[in-house]
Homo-oligomer: A and B are copies of this chain.
């Protein structure tokens, strides 16, 4: 059984989740204003650039309603001016008497400062209510600010005999339901990454099925510059940004349209790529292959999650193998989801 604080916070978390796919580099946040045991208003951060959850809820109420009320918010209120004025000031001005918080914001500009400000104005602050649940909302955002590296999820599609494609051919191994799931889950990430062979063979668009103001950036790792002068979907359509990472200066000089950005690598290592992406505030990446790129991510312990779609089929040994690794790893708390004839297996990677 949840206590009262947890019940109201669960409602705030539920509100927060309505912002899914649309808060971009911002976290999903939800807020609930309660007085005399009754919910007066709920709010959430609708999308990047919009007002914060606290303001969304508070703006629905009169000063009289807000006076002496309690605010439940899934993430520590900010105390700095970004796209929006600080929420801490708004809470103080609203004469809210108590603030209940799930998660301390891991963003260095915020951490602890919002709480300190509120307490200095004699507002009672309670923390640690449904913290794990609230953290799950923003696992990419949290990971990014805690580790100063993007959260990496690897996705592969395999047959039961561990094959992923035929040489030089585009192949859709799994069925429609898995296809739709992939196009939906792409929208949870800020970027999608593939290697140059996958770009050349599959010529994918790497778009999502979710309408987004900020669709995931399409990243191709192309050290040698094999994509130069190639007619590929993600170089010609501008439905999402395309970023190329290369050591070939011809690519950096090529007159690409504005949706394409070329980054020149020095060492060419995956770690260098991720550092550049961190500097560009890319918090999460969905890596779709090929096998060599996946292998490198795991062998350098840079990936956090693995999703494997299995199709109940054997492609036979003319087909190419999925990636193999030297060491062994486990998936923590694996999740299984049946999608028509296929199955999706996902879990956090435990580097044993």
Contact = CB atoms under 8 A, between A and B. Distances in A.
A325 B317 contact: yes
Contacts of A64: none
A138 interface: no
Nearest to A156: B160
A330 interface: yes
Interface centre among A160, A161, A310 (most CB of B within 10 A): A160
A312 to B, nearest CB: 4
Contacts of A321: 162
A65 to B, nearest CB: 48
Interface stretch (A35-43, A266-274, A339-347): A339-347
A335 to B, nearest CB: 9
A312 B334 contact: yes
A195 interface: no
Given A312-B331, A316-B326, 5 more contacts: A161-B322, A161-B323, A162-B162, A310-B345, A336-B338
B314 A329 contact: yes
Interface of A: 160-162, 298, 306, 308, 310, 312-319, 321-331, 334, 336, 338, 341, 343, 345, 347
A315 B352 CA distance: 11
Given A162-B162, A338-B336, A343-B336, A325 B314 contact: yes
A306 B318 CA distance: 21
A290 to B, nearest CB: 15
Contacts of A314: 298, 324-325, 327-330
Instruction: List the 5 closest pairs (A to B, CB-CB), nearest first.
Output: A162-B162, A312-B334, A312-B331, A316-B328, A317-B324
A318 B325 CA distance: 9
Contacts of A322: 161-162
A252 to B, nearest CB: 37
B329 A313 contact: yes
A48 B90 CA distance: 80
A345 B342 CA distance: 10
A312 B161 contact: no
A316 B325 contact: yes
Nearest to A160: B308
Given A317-B324, A317-B326, A324-B317, A345 B162 contact: no
A165 to B, nearest CB: 13
Contacts of A308: 160
A344 to B, nearest CB: 10
A308 B327 CA distance: 23
